[in-house]
């Protein structure tokens, strides 16, 4: 095996690499209605992963768990020590190992509120949460104004590259 072949002798490269595993699921017993089919969302997340891979990211697995406000409140308290719901929580499941494995918890109720506020579909908002979570796991941050702008510009780039277009707007935005 050479550096340009995989273990089966197949030439290595983006066109021959193993596909990233993308899974979405609802938490059992969660009382939340998903107003869209999961498969189209899964395909959009896979497309976003491909854009990231073209930029050098190595992502083996993305798992998105869809929850309602009550479950998100529990996760938010447990993992952040903050009471109340939030839009998305992200966990790098693979530690420092590459390719990375990412676990994302997305709140459908919050996505529904934000999508209504900005006039787009709920699945588009959840897609934004998935891209946002992936970027966090790839080292992006949004805790200071410069990093915030850079991270959201990268979200816009990725979402535009897959045909969705810019989606993020901070609360209180007028445009």
Is residue 172 situated within a structural domain? no
Count CB neighbours of 50 within 10 A: 18
Asked if the model's pLDDT at residue 107 lies above 90, the reply is yes
Is residue 173 situated within a structural domain? no
pLDDT of residue 30: 54
Is residue 171 situated within a structural domain? no
What are the strands, taking DSSP E only, across 18-99? 21-26, 59-67, 88-92
pLDDT in tens, 85-98: 999 999 999 888 88
**Number of structural domains in the chain:** 1
Domain that holds residue 121: 21-161
pLDDT in tens, 4-63: 233 333 333 344 445 688 887 766 555 556 666 788 999 999 999 999 999 999 999 999
What are the strands, taking DSSP E only, across 17-173? 21-26, 59-67, 88-92, 100-107
pLDDT in tens, 124-162: 999 999 999 999 999 999 999 999 999 999 999 999 999
Is residue 6 situated within a structural domain? no
pLDDT of residue 91: 94
Classify each residue of 28-42 as buried b or exposed e, where b means 16 or more C-beta atoms within 10 Å of its C-beta.
eebebebeeebeebb
Question: What CATH number does the domain containing 73 carry?
Answer: 3.40.390.30
Is residue 16 situated within a structural domain? no
pTM: 0.83
Is residue 98 situated within a structural domain? yes
């Amino acid at each position: 095996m050479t550096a340009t072949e995989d273990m089966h002798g197949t030439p290595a490269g983006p066109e021959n690499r193993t596909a990233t595993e993308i899974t979405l699921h609802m938490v059992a017993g969660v009382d939340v209605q998903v107003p869209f089919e999961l498969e189209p969302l899964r395909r959009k997340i896979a497309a976003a992963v491909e854009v990231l891979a073209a930029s050098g990211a190595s992502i083996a697995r993305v798992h998105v768990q869809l929850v309602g406000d009550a479950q998100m409140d529990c996760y938010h308290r447990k993992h952040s020590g903050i009471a109340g719901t939030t839009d998305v929580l992200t966990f790098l499941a693979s530690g420092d190992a590459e390719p990375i494995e990412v676990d994302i918890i997305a709140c459908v109720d919050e996505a529904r509120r934000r999508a209504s506020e900005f006039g787009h579909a709920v699945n588009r908002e959840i897609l934004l949460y998935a891209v946002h979570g992936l970027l966090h796991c790839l080292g992006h941050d949004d805790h200071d104004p410069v990093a915030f702008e850079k991270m959201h510009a990268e979200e816009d780039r990725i979402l535009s590259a897959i045909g969705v277009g810019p989606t993020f707007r901070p609360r209180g935005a007028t445009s």
